[in-house]
Chains A and B, each alone.
Chain A
Amino acid sequence: MRGRAAQYSFVAVAMVIGLLAVGQLRSQSRPAEVTRLSAQELSVLIETLTQRNRELRTGLADIREQVREYTLLGSQGQSAIDVSREDLRRITAFAALAPVEGQGIVMIVDGDLDAIALNDLINELRNAGAEAIAVDEVRITARSVAIQGALSLQVDGVAIAKRFSLRAVGSPEGLLAAVERPGGIISQLKLFVSATIQVRQSESVQLPATAMSLAPTVGEAAE
């Protein structure tokens, strides 16, 4: 009996060792995954992360300034209402619930783009730091997606003609460089789709608010 119990114990310990070994190997997979990127891929990644971290630092500074304002003003009074009203204005713009304007780029696309290509273009603009995007007069929200309708492309239920505009507010130089870079989205699309894509910087890009209701119908705020 003692011998058999010892055998079972040994098997149990060995199983635990095996599980721990798998866990250890998996935990090492992330650094190993990054080292497998090519030098060029790492360069693109470093540039993206540098830009994003810069934006995060700026954003953090802004939030801390807002906290200082609330601290100085107290939570009462008209001045606190003004700070909160400004916060509401900011959040509704971020959510695409309010129109925005600013510098950016304007793309005119003319040709046979499919839904995948349009979604890829929107994704590329977001990754390049676009703060707000619109396809024609359709403001892009978190839920926006291009689909292939019966007769044409549709974005958020709105038909998009073969010739359409894609406008984005953000750093004009940064957005332009991202979409026009060698091997970038435009050069990739030109290999697969029959379309002309013209891009230009703009001092004033004006985007409407979304026409969609973004209030969830089944989701609710978690306490």
Chain B
Amino acid sequence: MTLRSARAGLRWGWAVSMGAALALIGFVGYAQWNGSLARAQFTTSVQQAGARAVLNFEQEQAELREQIGAAEAEVQRFQESSTTSSAALAELNSQLAAARLAAGLTRMRGPGVVIEIADSNRVVPAGENPANFIVLVDDLRDIVAALWASGAEGIAINGERLVATSSIYGVGASVLVNTAFLSPPFRVEAIGSDGLLDRFLLDAAFRGRVGQRVDLFALEFATAPGLEIELPAFIGNTRFRWAVPSEQVQ
């Protein structure tokens, strides 16, 4: 091989390498933009001002929840530090621990399943409603309903633990759980006995709407059974302003 032909070969090699790299970047970028087309809308200055206010409130909420978590931990430390002081306190703290576990105020671990759902990567056909191709709040509600009906003992969505006061709410295409904004992909973790995933997949709440939407619109959907799951504790307001515990109901 002559020097000239060797250099030509080298130039070709570089060209192919650069082309491959640029094609890869282009593909990734195209996939990102194409996957977001269903959520694309124009914005106005009023919306931008409102959006800034929402983000500020969210930031405040995150800080408040962090402080609540720290304060709750301090309360528990006081209570746990007294377990050896008297039998009465020890019994009381045992009841407190059981109540916190039942309420979702304690981290919980056990066997369970993970269900992930995300927006479709399919290009929205002309004339189709783009909303069909994104995960809607009803999809998450149906998944959660099917899991509870299947015997789940605890559920969290993207790290948000569900408790008696939890809501799964939609504003536009956005989803709030415990008034915290969540973005797709949505990871639903549930603790429950053997067969939880099988029961979930057969449950009417899953098969009725969300199961059909997964099939029709190719929403990204994946499940993993038989895992060891750890659910976070609920962090939020647990102090009632209106409800007072009563001894009996008339």
A-B CB contact pairs (8 Å), 21 listed: A7-B14, A10-B17, A22-B28, A22-B29, A33-B174, A35-B47, A42-B54, A62-B239, A88-B96, A88-B99, A90-B240, A91-B105, A94-B240, A97-B103, A100-B240, A116-B142, A126-B165, A131-B242, A169-B243, A219-B109, A222-B230
B110 to chain A, nearest CB (A): 4
A94 to B164, CA, bound (A): 7
Q: Is the CB of A208 within 8 A of B249?
A: yes
On chain B, the residues within 8 Å of A103 by CB distance are: 242
Q: Is the CB of A37 within 8 A of B71?
A: no
**Residue ID in chain A nearest B137 by CB atoms:** A123
Q: Is the CB of B47 within 8 A of A39?
A: yes
Q: Is the CB of B183 within 8 A of A29?
A: yes
B29 to chain A, nearest CB (A): 6
A26 to B41, CA, bound (A): 17
On chain A, the residues within 8 Å of B85 by CB distance are: 75-76
A169 to B28, CA, bound (A): 51
Q: Is the CB of B108 within 8 A of A222?
A: yes
A41 to B169, CA, bound (A): 12
Find A49's partner among B58, B71, B88 (CB 8 Å cutoff).
Answer: B58
A147 to B8, CA, bound (A): 72
**Residue ID in chain A nearest B103 by CB atoms:** A95
B156 to chain A, nearest CB (A): 11
Binding site for A on B (CB under 8 A): 10, 13-14, 17-18, 20-22, 24-25, 28-29, 32, 36, 39-41, 43-44, 46-48, 50-51, 53-55, 57-58, 60-61, 64-65, 67-68, 71-72, 74-75, 78-79, 81-82, 85-86, 88-89, 92-93, 95-111, 141-142, 145, 148-149, 152-154, 162-169, 171-174, 176, 179, 181, 183, 191-193, 204-205, 208-209, 230-231, 236-250
A33 to B39, CA, bound (A): 8
Q: Is the CB of A42 within 8 A of B181?
A: no
Q: Is the CB of B166 within 8 A of A142?
A: yes
User: Known contacts A99-B247, A123-B169, A132-B243; is A63 also within 8 Å of B71 by CB?
Assistant: yes
A91 to B102, CA, bound (A): 9
A42 to B176, CA, bound (A): 13
**Beyond A71-B78, A75-B85, A100-B245: 16 further Cβ-contacts under 8 Å?**
A3-B10, A13-B21, A37-B50, A41-B171, A49-B58, A53-B57, A70-B78, A70-B79, A80-B78, A95-B102, A104-B242, A115-B145, A123-B167, A145-B148, A218-B192, A222-B106
A88 to B95, CA, bound (A): 7
**Residue ID in chain A nearest B61 by CB atoms:** A53
Q: Is the CB of B32 within 8 A of A33?
A: no
Binding site for B on A (CB under 8 A): 3-4, 7-8, 10-11, 13-15, 17-19, 21-22, 25-26, 29-31, 33-39, 41-46, 48-50, 52-53, 55-60, 62-64, 66-67, 70-71, 75-76, 80-81, 84-85, 87-104, 115-116, 119-120, 123-124, 126-127, 130-132, 140-148, 169-171, 206-208, 214-222
On chain A, the residues within 8 Å of B205 by CB distance are: 115-116, 145, 147
User: Known contacts A45-B54, A88-B96, A219-B109; is A36 also within 8 Å of B239 by CB?
Assistant: no
On chain A, the residues within 8 Å of B174 by CB distance are: 33-34, 37, 45
